[in-house]
Each structure stands twice: as C-alpha cells, then as structure tokens.
C-alpha cells in the first residue's frame, strides 16, 4: 500500500493463519491488516486468474470477481501424512511428535512441516531448526 497499490488478501480458510492462530487471533490479525488498509477476504476459494496478456483480476469459485493488476501467490503447506499413516504412526493434522520429536513409534522421529507438536502444525521453516536441535540432542543422549 505504501507504493500506492490497493492490496487484497484472499485466504481459503475461514480465518487468516489458521495453522498458527485460533479463530479469535486470526480475526484480530485480519482487523489489524484492515486497519492498515489491506482488505482481507477469508473463505475465498480461487477459481481462476483472469486476463489474457495481463492480469485483470481473480475470479473466486462463487463467481465473485476481484479486480487486480498484480497477483502474488503464497500457497503455504499442507502436510501429507499418508506414508506415516501407512507406517502405523499417529497422524492428526500432522505426524504427532513429543518434545524430542519422537512419534508414536519410539524408533521413529520426525521434524519439519509434516509434524504436529503440542497440537500445532507450524507451516513455517524457522521452527524446524529448533525441532532438529531437540531431536539431535536427544539422539546424542541415547548414544552416550
């Protein structure tokens, strides 16, 4: 917006940052973005990006047309736990792990965007480093 652009965030889920925030916190974040001049539309299921040589808008699956000259996409992640499920591990929104990244099988460890730790799937790279450190520290303790 500082560059003179009108900005609209289209978000598929019912509230922003649904993997990181509960609905109340997501609502507060959306309010803050709106206060800063950024329009937020949740439950926005994108149907198509419209335009032939240049973008002219985004059409949602419900038919709503959002005019646009520029589209920036950040699609995020959704853990695929099929391999873990097939291996008999506990999978909810991600592979369930404890504080040292042990899965429901004590011989299997998991880290990264595929895991659910204390009920949370982070969907961010930064927590991976702490997960890897916790797991590595634990594995070193086992070996000594």
How do the domains of the chain map onto residue ranges?
7-67, 82-139
Tell the CATH topology of 82-139.
FAD/NAD(P)-binding domain (3.50.50)
Q: Six-digit token pair at 117?
A: 């730790």
108-128 confidence digits (pLDDT tens): 999 998 899 998 888 777 888
Q: Is the pTM of this model over 0.85?
A: no
4-22 confidence digits (pLDDT tens): 889 999 999 999 988 778 8
Residue 144 has pLDDT above 70, yes or no: no
Residue 2 has pLDDT above 70, yes or no: no
Q: So what's the pLDDT on residue 79?
A: 76
Q: What residues are paired with 42 via a beta bridge?
A: 11
Residue 64 has pLDDT above 70, yes or no: yes
Q: Evaluate whether 109 touches 101 at the Cβ level (below 8 Å).
A: yes
Q: Evaluate whether 8 touches 38 at the Cβ level (below 8 Å).
A: yes
Residue 1 has pLDDT above 70, yes or no: no
**Dist CA 88 CA 59 (whole Å):** 41
Q: What CATH code is assigned to 7-67?
A: 3.50.50.60
């Amino acid at each position: 917006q500082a560059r003179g652009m009108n900005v609209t965030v289209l978000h598929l889920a019912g509230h922003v940052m649904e993997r990181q925030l509960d609905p109340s916190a997501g609502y507060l974040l959306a309010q803050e973005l709106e206060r800063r001049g950024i329009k937020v539309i949740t439950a926005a299921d994108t149907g198509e990006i419209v335009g032939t040589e240049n973008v002219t808008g985004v059409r949602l699956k419900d038919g709503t047309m959002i005019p646009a000259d520029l589209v920036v996409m950040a699609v995020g992640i959704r853990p695929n736990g099929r391999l873990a499920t097939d291996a008999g591990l506990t999978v909810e929104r991600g592979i369930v792990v404890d504080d040292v990244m042990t899965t429901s099988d004590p011989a299997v460890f998991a880290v990264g965007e595929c895991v659910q730790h204390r009920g949370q799937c982070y969907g961010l790279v930064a927590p991976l480093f702490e997960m890897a450190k916790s797991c590595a520290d634990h594995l070193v303790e086992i070996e000594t």
